[in-house]
Amino acid sequence: MNAAPLRCLIVDDSADFRASARDMLEAGGISVIATASTLDDAVRETRSTRPDLALVDIDLGGESGFDVVEALHELDADPTPAIVLVSTHDEDEFADMIDASPAVGFLPKFALSADRIRQLLAGRR
């Protein structure tokens, strides 16, 4: 029997990225159940949809993805979503902040795939 697909929330200020990431992830067997573009939207969607996974862009225009990570981590959500940070920026620019955050890890947007997400989640702490 196959396990249920991961249920994912995508948090990114780019509608184009949200749409392309949704298509790519769903083609790879990850169900995108919601998208958000702000911290408030991310919190609301997490409360209402209870995703297993949240992909959070580090740079949300006027907001920080790290603030979103903290807010989602502090929610009394069941299940608490595994959070993966994504960005077009190089990981080295944010390495210390990524390590200090409750996110399970980081993936560059150009390397984002359902398989890479599963690999990252398999190695989570």
Express each pLDDT in 67-90 by its tens digit.
999 999 898 767 789 999 999 887
Number of structural domains (the chain) is 1
96-125, pLDDT tens digit by residue?
888 899 999 999 999 999 999 999 998 864
The answer to whether residue 118 sits within a structural domain is yes
pTM exceeding 0.85 = yes
CATH number for the domain spanning 23: value is 3.40.50.2300
The domain of 53 spans 7-122
How many angstroms separate the CA atoms of 121 and 8, rounded? 13
The answer as to whether 2 is a domain residue is: no
- CA gap 101, 85 in Å, rounded: 10
Q: Is residue 75 part of a domain?
A: yes
